[in-house]
Amino acid sequence: MNILDKIVIDKRKEVELRKSVIPIYQLETSVLFERDTNSLTNRLRESKSGIIAEHKRRSPSKSVINQNLNVQDVAKGYENAGVCGMSVLTDGKYFGGSLDDLLVARASCDLPLLRKEFIIDKYQIIEAKAYGADVILLIAAILSRDEIKQFSELAKQLNLDVLLEVHNEEELHKSIMPSLDMLGVNNRNLKTFEVSLETSKQLSQLIPNDFVKVSESGISLVEAIKTLQPYDYRGFLIGENFMKTDNPGASATGFINELES
């Protein structure tokens, strides 16, 4: 059983528990449930850099990345750096994140916020909206075509953008549908954790131009982005590269300045 399978098994138990503690109607009465969302898709279309910067404390592939920073400082730093959006890990067991991180980020900046999570239930989409997210992530590797359709259509009803993540051609073909906004290509093989930008290059021509293309994982150098821009990528998700420094905001600022110079 690979790491993704383990995460999904644990996530199903976690979501059942959350549902029993906070029912859907309670989520729908949250103050943030009524707020107007910020479109990450639009930001990426208009941006020169396309950086989506992540808040991530640890991961199964790297163990601890950075446990010492508070989300408020990271969010403000990213906003000042001029990133297009911020990705917030909300998985606790494997990534050290929480929904509270999303709330704090929301209170600290006006960036479009992506709830980075293993979504396997509609409940988590309503939860994302209630905790201040603007975008949800759907992972094709763990969802059927029917689930992708149901989840993405619910997200659109809630005015949330949808980023769908694929790892290969098979996942891409089963996933393409009008209720998605962005198609993300994850350069990391989730079974081996090896990273290759060739994945983004190969899949780029198979993604229709209606969708904003996002490349994820393994992007730590400005050269990587310059290599992928000719393949029509508008978004670049960068996690560990900024988070492994003492000041992710300053790190992002330097990165964007170098990219745009």
Beta carbons within 8 Å of 170's beta carbon, 6+ residues apart: none
Q: Which of 11, 56, 129, 213 is catalytic?
A: 56
Rounded to the nearest 5 degrees, what angle is found at the Cα of 88, between the Cα atoms of 87 and 91?
Answer: 130
Catalytic residue among 11, 49, 54, 79: 54
* 175 counts as catalytic: no
> Residue 209 — φ and ψ, nearest 5°?
-70, -5
User: Are 199 and 186 within 8 A, CB to CB?
Assistant: yes
Burial of 142 (0-12, 13-18, 19+ CB in 10 A): middle
Annotated active-site residue 116? The verdict is yes
Beta strand extents in the chain (DSSP E only): 51-55, 58-59, 63-64, 85-89, 113-116, 135-139, 161-166, 182-186, 212-216, 233-238
Catalytic (active site) residue 258: no
68 is catalytic: no
| Residue 147 annotated among the catalytic residues of the structure | no
Instruction: Decide if 186 is catalytic.
Output: yes
Catalytic, out of 186, 215, 241, 251? 186
CA distances from 228 to 50, 96, 163 (A): 12, 30, 18
* Catalytic residue selected from 87, 216, 241, 251: 216
Annotation says 14 is catalytic: no
- Catalytic, out of 152, 217, 241, 251: 217
Q: Which two tokens stand for residue 47?
A: 């941006």
| Candidate list 11, 116, 129, 213, residue with the active-site label | 116
**Catalytic site residues?**
54, 56, 116, 165, 186, 216-217
